[in-house]
Chain A
Amino acid sequence: MRRLIESRGFLTVLLVAALVWSVSSVDWGGPLVHTGGFAALLQFLRAILSPEVSPSFVIVALGASWETIAYAVAGITLAVALGFPLGVVASGVLVRSARARWPAMLGTRFLLAFLRSIHELVWAWLFVVAIGLSPMAAIFALAIPYGGILGRIYADILNDVPAQPLQALRASGGSEWKVFLYGRLPIALPDMLSYTFYRFECAIRAVIIMSFVGIGGLGYQILLSLNDLLYNEVWTLLFFLVALIAVVDIWSNAVRRRLVS
């Protein structure tokens, strides 16, 4: 029985069946695009050629981009402050006795799982309800799930550090804390930073989406312009968005490369 379940053929049949079932259960009735939809789509696409570039609007877009970056930076900083200590505890590397290690690891890992299992958008909505449309709502909403994600990844990276250099440090007289400072952390740091930068890129996109609930930033501006059917403005904002992500991407790549070499 077990062999059947694990066999490749069985899995293939199962996956194909799932695909067929899901395709057939979609309601394909009616045309894909509703009446007037094509016209609107064309209008939207045509607007790419004439993005809104009036100085006053560019200033709005710049301000919104800046706000987006600021939220993402603040959010990820708070997420690191939350995720790092939790990650260290969850890795269990500072606790020598096995009896104390497992409860600590399981407890923090469960907490991390809880933090990241609720999406930032849900947190955003909760915080907007609780503290209103303040930047704090966006920052907390980002920091909590991201702290959970970072903490979990930090714990895994800290656990995966090669054992020999640590063994050597223990042999030269280091306690687990000293081994952590002189071996585990510096060995793990490039991977940890690299992952944090990757998460920072994600955070920027997340802030944009979150701002659809009304907390400033590029996403909010896109929403306003879309509501007014000002596609030229939407394109300007989208260009800013692409540029923003590209800049962060280039920057984080440069930092990562410096760390690895």
Chain B
Amino acid sequence: MGASDSRCPAFVLDSVTKAYPRTVALAPLSLTIARGERVAFLGPSGAGKTTLLHLLGGVIQPSQGQIWVHGQPLSGLTAGRELAGLVGVIHQQFDLVPLLSVVHNVLAGRLGQWSLMRSLVSLISPRDRHIALEALGKVGITEKAYERTSRLSGGEQQRVAVARMLVQDPDIMLADEPVASVDPARAEDVLSLLSNIASERGKTLIATLHSVDLIKRHFSRAIGLRNGELQFDLPTGEVTEEMLERLYEIRGRVEG
């Protein structure tokens, strides 16, 4: 990205809000995330974690305020090629296409670079095959490359989603609850995979999750949200159990 200076932070948020007709999903929030940081968003359901992640990914637009990514206004980047090179998102449900074979789901990460013709030809005979196979090797499921994605287990599908992100190769990786639906061993696995990739390739990693242990092991910074408001923003080493209890505690009437 020509315009992006390597000294610019990954993200700068300037009093960003997101309001929906009846609720405020995110109160004015300002923060800076440096390049190569590994940041975890914490908070109870409905706290605004996913909203924030979607704002950063350009999936939704802020109601007010401005987001800069690598020094450029996020709203000024065209969706597709430009944004895809900078920011990639792994969603909670992996968002794979079940009927396609694994290799095509992984190569979907290349769609931003490919012409329509090349995309079409690739469905018949995969293009850039070595890139896909390398990514699948990295997540440890090379042998599944030509299987139909629906035949894979949940954990394997998650790896496919990670491989797709690797192929897309964005500078910033966003992951929405990457370990919400997997057992503890696999959660550890997936997170070390993501954080290793981030540190090896100098990428920024931002994820939403709940477990203190995992956060302390794989992230450098923790941001706590509640009711769309910032509760704390600390190095993971300084986060205490007590702070988390306060963050997750149910006050008065039940909150989503």
Spell out A's residues near B (CB within 8 Å).
164-165, 167-175, 177-178, 181-183, 186-187, 189-190, 259, 261
Contacts and interface: CB of A to CB of B under 8 A. Distances in A.
A173 B84 contact: yes
Most buried by B among A171, A174, A175, A190: A171
Given A167-B95, A187-B98, A172 B119 contact: no
Nearest to A183: B97
Given A164-B93, A167-B95, A181-B119, A172 B109 contact: yes
15 contacts: A164-B91, A171-B57, A171-B58, A171-B84, A171-B87, A173-B80, A173-B84, A173-B85, A174-B108, A175-B80, A175-B116, A177-B116, A178-B111, A183-B108, A186-B99
A178 B88 contact: no
Contacts of B79: 170-171
A177 B117 CA distance: 10
Contacts of B15: none
Interface of B: 57-59, 79-81, 83-85, 87-89, 91, 93, 95-100, 104, 108-109, 111-114, 116, 119-120, 123, 150-151, 164, 168
A178 B112 CA distance: 9
B122 to A, nearest CB: 9
A181 B108 CA distance: 10
B232 to A, nearest CB: 29
A45 B231 CA distance: 84
Contacts of A187: 97-99
A169 B80 CA distance: 9
Contact of A171 (B89, B96, B120): B89
B109 A182 contact: no
A104 B85 CA distance: 33
Contacts of A183: 97, 108
B135 to A, nearest CB: 13
Contact of A172 (B84, B93, B98): B84
Contacts of A177: 116, 119
Contacts of B93: 164
Interface residues of A, dominant DSSP: helix
Contacts of B112: 172-174
A169 B109 CA distance: 8
Nearest to A189: B99
B168 A172 contact: yes
B97 A178 contact: no
B134 to A, nearest CB: 17
Nearest to B164: A172
A182 B99 contact: no
B83 A171 contact: yes
A26 B52 CA distance: 68
A181 B88 CA distance: 20
Nearest to A161: B97
B111 A182 contact: yes
A7 to B, nearest CB: 31
A181 B83 CA distance: 21
B181 to A, nearest CB: 15
Given A168-B89, A182-B104, A182-B119, 12 more contacts: A167-B59, A167-B95, A168-B95, A171-B84, A172-B84, A172-B164, A174-B111, A174-B119, A175-B80, A187-B97, A190-B99, A261-B151
A171 B84 CA distance: 6
Contacts of B113: 173
Contacts of A261: 150-151
Nearest to A165: B95
B84 A182 contact: no
B95 A182 contact: no
A167 B108 CA distance: 12
Nearest to B100: A186
